[in-house]
Amino acid sequence: MLSGIAESPLASRHAALGARMIPFAGWNLPVEYTGLLAEHKATRQAAGLFDISHMGQIHALGAGALPALESLLANDAAKLKDGEGHYTFFLNDQGGVIDDLFLYRISAQDFLLVVNASRHREVLQILKPKETPQVHFSGEPGTTVGMALQGPKAASILQKVLRVDGTKIPPRNHLTSFEMESGQVWIARTGYTGEDGFELFSDLKTGPRIWDRLLEAGKAEGLLPCGLGSRDSLRTEAGFPLNGQDLSPSISPVEAGLAFFVDISRPRPFPGRSVVEPQKKGNLSRICVGLKGQPGQPPPRHDYPVFQNGKQIGIITSGVPSPTLGHGIALALITTPPPACGQEVEFEVRGRKVPAKVSHRKFLQNK
């Protein structure tokens, strides 16, 4: 779509399920069906099914795919084996994040990039000039279906639908191709909720049928269709970043606490390397930490300032009242050295300072 707002290939399903729709990154998407809290709980205790068709699915094809990706991405694509995926970034020359994505190696000549809807066009604009007779990039917005099946019951629901045993489904961060509903689907054991789960990537004809099958098969297990509302609260509890809030062109992945996914052990240059390499070696002026609020206090939100001993030390990048924990949680970008875990800080809500404690970013310790 060049203008206006795009409808998901699953739009008719959302309408039939009575979803409340909102615009998000140029797409009209469900924010909730039964209710955010019920959907959040279903995903933590049973399973949730999310439409992620807005996310870009881009294939890098050809013998030149790997060298092109190695020169463009912050994690080292050369580390991946067939059927394996990892989290990585497109960085700008200042080390800031253009996009965070999952990269899967299907084979030596076929890589799948799953990118944010809001950066899909920008990523294509980065990739297209790198095309040669040896590498081709394909994957325009609106040409694929994506869905995420997440939660402790996700694996059993998927096995039921695929009619396979547990040894056939991919292990964590791996991707396997299956035939379903007379079409092909790529199933990755990845997600954005902190639960076990899968992301399924398919075509416009097969995808909607798979959605129906998963919903039907999951019903008895307590599966609910879930919207963007619970997707955001679930990812915040898991400490996962949202591009545009916790990551941005002016925030580097090292500052966001994601240095693990920036590989400086290889000799090859990549955009932003001259900035993120010294950061990863310890030359860092700010770092993302977790904050835990208290029950009965107003929850932290994006852009609230953070204080220690009355002095501003940073800003909240994502904040939410945690449905699982019953108090506010936040990711905050803090001047280094940050206070240690357990130290008391404050954030400012409507002119009032509210107490919080520094915490690990992974708020659900048992996950």
Partner 1 sequence: MNTPNDLLYAKSHEWLRLEKEQATVGITDHAQSALSDVVFVELPKAGRVVKAGEVIATVESVKAASDIYSPVAGTVVESNTTLSSDPGMINREPYGQGWLFKIQPESPKPNGLLSATDYTATLSS
Residue 216 phi/psi, 5° resolution?
Answer: -65, -50
Candidate segments 8-16, 32-40, 215-223, 358-366, binder of partner 1 by CB under 8 A: 32-40
CB of 344 to partner 1, least distance (A): 21
- Token readout for 56 is 């870009």
Q: Binding partner 1 by CB under 8 A: which of 83, 249, 257, 299?
A: 299
* Residue (34 or 173) nearer to partner 1, CB: 34
What is the rounded distance in angstroms from the CA atom of residue 150 to the CA atom of residue 40? 11
Q: Binding partner 1 by CB under 8 A: which of 267, 282, 296, 337?
A: 296
Write the DSSP string, 74-141. SS-GGGPPTTEEEEEEEE-TTS-EEEEEEEEEEETTEEEEEE-GGGHHHHHHHHGGG-BTTBEEE--T
- Residue 174 binds partner 1, judged by CB under 8 A: no
- Residue 37 binds partner 1, judged by CB under 8 A: yes
Neighbours of 147 (CB within 10 A): 24
Candidate segments 43-51, 141-149, 280-288, 298-306, binder of partner 1 by CB under 8 A: 298-306
* Residue (183 or 298) nearer to partner 1, CB: 298
Handedness of CA 219, 222, 226, 231 (dihedral sign): negative
Size of residue set near partner 1 by CB under 8 A: 18
Q: Binding partner 1 by CB under 8 A: which of 32, 199, 246, 263?
A: 32
Taking alpha carbons only, the member of 332, 322, 337, 335 closest to residue 357 is 332
* Residue (18 or 269) nearer to partner 1, CB: 18
Residues 224-253 that bind partner 1 (CB under 8 A): 229-230, 232-233
- Residue 35 binds partner 1, judged by CB under 8 A: yes
CB of 245 to partner 1, least distance (A): 13
CB 142 within 8 A of CB 6: yes
CB of 8 to partner 1, least distance (A): 20
Residues 327-366 that bind partner 1 (CB under 8 A): 350
* Residue (249 or 298) nearer to partner 1, CB: 298
Neighbours of 355 (CB within 10 A): 12
What is the rounded distance in angstroms from the CA atom of residue 89 to the CA atom of residue 73? 6
Q: Binding partner 1 by CB under 8 A: which of 36, 49, 74, 289?
A: 36
Residues 273-292 that bind partner 1 (CB under 8 A): none
- Residue 294 binds partner 1, judged by CB under 8 A: no
CB of 167 to partner 1, least distance (A): 38
CB 73 within 8 A of CB 31: no
* Residue (37 or 341) nearer to partner 1, CB: 37
Neighbours of 194 (CB within 10 A): 21
Neighbours of 109 (CB within 10 A): 15
Element holding 215 (H helix, E strand): helix 206-218
CB 43 within 8 A of CB 222: no
59-98 mask for partner 1 (x: CB under 8 A)?
A: ----------------------------------------
What is the rounded distance in angstroms from the CA atom of residue 104 to the CA atom of residue 110? 9
Contact residues for partner 1, defined by CB under 8 A: 31-32, 35-37, 40, 229-230, 232-233, 296, 298-299, 301, 320-321, 323, 350
